[in-house]
């Protein structure tokens, strides 16, 4: 039996617009997709999936996790050929209306991103929007989020900076249940790559955190949870956030909390907190300020990285956004760190990412427009 790994995210009771005919979408959805620079006709042609073609088979006791917007479960997805199945994750939004609306918005944002896929960004397969009471978004599946992954594997951490490893003998270890100094740099590099690509769309994530950074069984990073993401025209500035202050993530940059301003540099602030958690092997979600970090450093183990990386991390927390690095600089910084281990390591991770990118292109076969293709290995 063939089995592929993507994900389906489900939301019941979403206030979906009623489709009044094949070529007459309601004003609500038409406006939403227009705001995200995609027409409903373009969406339907490329991303709509008939409900009967999406078979969700629940698997008991297979809860993957619970986030702010809903619970995620593992399931199986079947289609035309019963021997071809997709291993998926199903996420049902919590019943609060604004959380359901955010899940709907995530569909639209990811559809816009679909033309510019990246192996370090979670890719959409399609969605079901024909039933006002039941909406599905279908994406790739990852093994877990990076916060949980670090928590489960930190006790077996392999410190390659201790001097017990010969540089020319260090290679990428694809075994899922292992964690090393090199892995941390690889994770930071891949998050940087994904966020640089997102910035160039241009788009701000607005909720970058380890719980929203996924990892596959091949240890490839997928940045996900785009429910708060926003596409915009001006790469350098975005303000007047529609997110109420009491719903702004507490790890947000000061300009967000004080003025509601979102830019690449506000995502950089959150990236700095991701780096801190990575290089301290910490899963403490209460560390949201520089003062919290300083107190943590006084009472816990030292960083699992060189001092220069911590200095770079602190640059992400400069009060003035213009003094923080951008994601292009982050990519370069961690590429240099990879090359400190071995020049071959950077080449190897890039080769892995190229392969992942090719596999993402296969996702288009699972929509109605790609449904005539039979999946073969």
What pLDDT is recorded for position 245?
Answer: 60
Question: For 289-308, b where at least 16 C-beta lie within 10 A, e where not — what string?
Answer: eeeebeeeeeeeeebbbeee
How does residue 184 score in pLDDT terms, banded at 50, 70 and 90?
Answer: very high
Active-site residue, 168 included: no
Among residues 230, 190, 196, the alpha carbon closest in space to that of 210 is found at 190
What pLDDT is recorded for position 4?
Answer: 46
Any idea which residue has 């997110």 for tokens? 243
- Look at the alpha carbons of 114, 119, 120, 125 in this order and tell me if their dihedral is positive or negative: positive
Is 36 labeled as ligand-binding? Answer: no
Please give the domain boundaries of the chain with CATH numbers for all domains.
Answer: 2-141 (3.30.200.20), 144-356 (1.10.510.10)
Phi, psi of 59 (to 5 degrees): -115, 115
How does residue 111 score in pLDDT terms, banded at 50, 70 and 90?
Answer: confident
- Average pLDDT score over residue span 61-83: 70
- The model's pLDDT over 36-68, given as tens digits with 9 standing for 90+, comes to 556 667 777 788 877 777 776 666 666 777 766
Among residues 47, 51, 81, the alpha carbon closest in space to that of 373 is found at 81
Planar angle of CA 166, 162, 219, nearest 5 degrees: 75
Among residues 252, 253, 278, the alpha carbon closest in space to that of 337 is found at 278
pLDDT at residue 25 is higher than 60: no
Q: Yes or no: say if 7 and 138 are a contact pair by the CB < 8 Å rule.
A: yes
Of 50, 207, 267, 292, the active-site residue reads: 207
- Average pLDDT score over residue span 11-15: 36
Q: Yes or no: say if 22 and 93 are a contact pair by the CB < 8 Å rule.
A: no
- Average pLDDT score over residue span 161-169: 68
Highest mean pLDDT among 12-21, 133-142, 226-235, 275-284: 275-284
Q: For strands 2-12 and 84-93, give the pairing.
A: parallel
- Average pLDDT score over residue span 123-128: 82
Q: What is the pTM of this model?
A: 0.84
Among residues 369, 362, 367, 375, the alpha carbon closest in space to that of 128 is found at 367
Q: State the Cα–Cα distance between residues 319 and 158, nearest whole angstrom.
A: 34
Helix (H, G, I), strand (E, B) or coil at 281: coil
Which of 96-110, 187-201, 215-229 has the lowest average pLDDT? 96-110
Is 247 labeled as ligand-binding? Answer: no
Report DSSP state, residue 51: G
Is 225 labeled as ligand-binding? Answer: yes
- The model's pLDDT over 235-247, given as tens digits with 9 standing for 90+, comes to 555 555 556 565 6
What pLDDT is recorded for position 239?
Answer: 53
pLDDT at residue 250 is higher than 80: no
Among residues 229, 205, 218, 206, the alpha carbon closest in space to that of 144 is found at 218
- The model's pLDDT over 284-325, given as tens digits with 9 standing for 90+, comes to 766 556 666 667 666 655 689 998 999 999 999 999 999 999
- The model's pLDDT over 112-125, given as tens digits with 9 standing for 90+, comes to 888 889 999 998 88
What pLDDT is recorded for position 288?
Answer: 56
What pLDDT is recorded for position 240?
Answer: 53
pLDDT at residue 7 is higher than 50: no
């Amino acid at each position: 039996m063939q089995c592929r790994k993507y994900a389906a995210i489900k939301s019941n009771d979403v206030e979906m617009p009623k489709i009044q005919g094949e070529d007459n979408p309601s004003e609500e959805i038409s406006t939403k997709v227009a705001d995200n620079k995609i027409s409903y006709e373009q969406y339907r042609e490329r991303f709509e999936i008939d409900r009967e073609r999406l078979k969700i088979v629940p698997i008991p006791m297979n809860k993957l996790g619970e986030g702010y917007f809903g619970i995620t479960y593992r399931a199986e997805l079947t289609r035309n050929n019963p021997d071809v199945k997709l291993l998926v994750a199903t996420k049902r939004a919590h019943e609060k209306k604004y959380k359901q609306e955010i899940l709907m918005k995530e569909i639209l944002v990811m559809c816009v991103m679909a033309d510019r896929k990246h192996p370090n960004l979670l890719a959409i397969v399609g969605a079901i929007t024909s039933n006002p009471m039941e909406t599905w978004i279908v994406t790739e599946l990852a093994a877990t989020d990076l916060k949980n992954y670090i928590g489960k594997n930190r006790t077996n951490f392999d410190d390659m900076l201790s001097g017990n490893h010969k540089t020319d003998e260090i290679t990428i270890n694809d075994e899922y249940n292992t964690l090393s100094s090199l892995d941390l740099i690889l994770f930071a590099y891949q998050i940087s790559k994904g966020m640089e690509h997102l910035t160039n769309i241009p788009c701000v994530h607005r909720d970058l955190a380890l719980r929203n950074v996924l990892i596959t069984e091949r240890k490839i990073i997928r940045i996900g949870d785009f429910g708060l993401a926003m596409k915009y025209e001006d790469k350098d500035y975005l303000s007047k956030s529609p997110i109420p202050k009491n719903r702004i993530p507490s790890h947000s940059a000061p300009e967000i909390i004080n003025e509601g301003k979102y830019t690449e540099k506000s995502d950089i602030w959150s990236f700095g907190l991701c780096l801190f958690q990575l290089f301290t092997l910490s899963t403490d979600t209460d560390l949201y300020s520089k003062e919290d970090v300083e107190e943590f450093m006084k009472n816990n183990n030292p960083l699992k990285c060189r001092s220069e990386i911590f200095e770079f991390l602190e640059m992400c927390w400069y009060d003035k956004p213009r003094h923080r690095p951008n994601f292009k600089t982050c990519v370069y910084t961690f590429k240099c760190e990879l090359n400190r281990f071995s020049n071959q390591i950077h080449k190897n991770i890039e080769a892995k990412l190229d392969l992942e990118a090719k596999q993402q292109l296969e996702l288009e076969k699972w929509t109605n427009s790609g449904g005539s293709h039979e999946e073969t290995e």
